[in-house]
Amino acid sequence: MYNVQHYIKIYNQRNHKSTTPHTPKIPTTRLLCECDIYTSIYDNDPQMKAVMENYNRQASERFKEYDERMNKNRKECKEQCDKEIQKIILKDKLDKELTEKFATLHTDIQNDAIPTCVCEKSLADKTEKFCLNCGKTMGGVAPGWGLVSGLVYAGWSQYVATTVAKAATNAGIKAGVKVGLVNVTKIVTELSKDTLVEIPSIEMLETLTTGISADNVTLSGIFNTLNSAMTGKYNYDTYSQFSMWIQNLAGNHRLYTRRYPTEVAAVETAFDNAKTGILTKAGNATSSLTTGITASIIAIVVIILIMVIIYLILRYRRKKKMKKKLQYIKLLEE
């Protein structure tokens, strides 16, 4: 104010013609002390108080949820970090083990040869390979062997049955003819006791009955066979009387069947007994052989089953080991 008045005074000294009023100005000063700017007009408002309380409550809930979410995320992050650390540790451990194993392998490398690795197989691998090869062999050979054995056994059984039946029949024929010739000479001797009749020997009569069939091994059949063999051959010989008696008895069976029933039945009994004896012996031998074959087949089947079980166990162990190795390799690749 002093500067302004002084300037006006100087200016008035230069311009004597101009007049200026000498009324001093009254400055107007406005002060804010009449009202308190820090006093809130909403402190006593109940609606505003309710709004503020609701806001504070929601804010506290939001902060609480945020803290819980952050704690959960921190926990998950920590677990993930622990898993990654375990993977890294396991990977380092596997790398170290593989490095040690590769270092222990015996390799034979030459300049002009392909690198080869000499590794000793375990007993389980050798056993598995042996069982696998044996299983393949038995799997290929067993069906063929069973088929061939079945055919051979069937053919052999048929051959044995035919041979045994033939042998039994021949034995029955021989025994029946022998008993029949003895009874023939006995009957002729008793019937011709009043006359002189030369009786041939049993050996000679057996030559006359050669080729007799099993159906003719009866006393009447033997008489007919002798009649056919002696007719025209012994009519004028020493045994002509015997030949005549044979012709008469062969033409009339009643002359001896009623008087000598025991001798008639003895021929058939001798034939049946001899035949049955041979068949019984052959049956016992065949049964023993069949039992041996059956026992051998059962033993082979049991051995094959044991080998298959061993192979399956070793195969399962090998698959389990390979699965574990694949998991390790997959983990290393990750």
Distance of alpha carbon 323 from alpha carbon 248, whole angstroms: 100
- Does this model's pTM top 0.85? no
136: containing domain? 128-321
Residue 217 placed within a domain: yes
Burial 233-263 (b: 16+ CB within 10 A, else e): ebeeeebebbbebbbebbeeeeebeeebeeb
In terms of Cα–Cα distance, which of 216, 214, 250 is closest to 231? 250
Residue 290 lies in a domain: yes
Give the pLDDT of residue 32.
47
Question: Average pLDDT of 225-254?
Answer: 74
Per mean pLDDT, which of 74-83, 217-226, 249-258 is the most reliable? 74-83
Residue 117 backbone phi and psi in degrees, to 5: -115, 125
CA distance 80 to 77: 5
- Is position 148 within any domain? yes
Q: Is residue 53, in this structure, part of any structural domain at all?
A: no
Q: What is the pLDDT of residue 91?
A: 82
Residue 233 lies in a domain: yes
Task: Write out the two tokens for 324.
Answer: 């574990």
Does residue 301 lie in a domain region? yes
Q: How far, in Å, CA of 230 to CA of 198, rounded?
A: 14
Measured in whole angstroms, the distance separating CA 15 from the mean position of its chain's CA atoms is 137
Task: Tell me how crowded residue 287 is: count the other CB atoms within 10 A of its CB.
Answer: 10
Residue 45 belongs to some domain of the structure: no
In a domain, 92, yes or no: no
Helix (H) or strand (E) holding 155: helix 123-191
Q: pLDDT tens across 128-171, in order?
A: 566 566 655 655 555 555 555 555 555 656 656 677 777 777 77
Number of folded domains in the chain?
Answer: 1
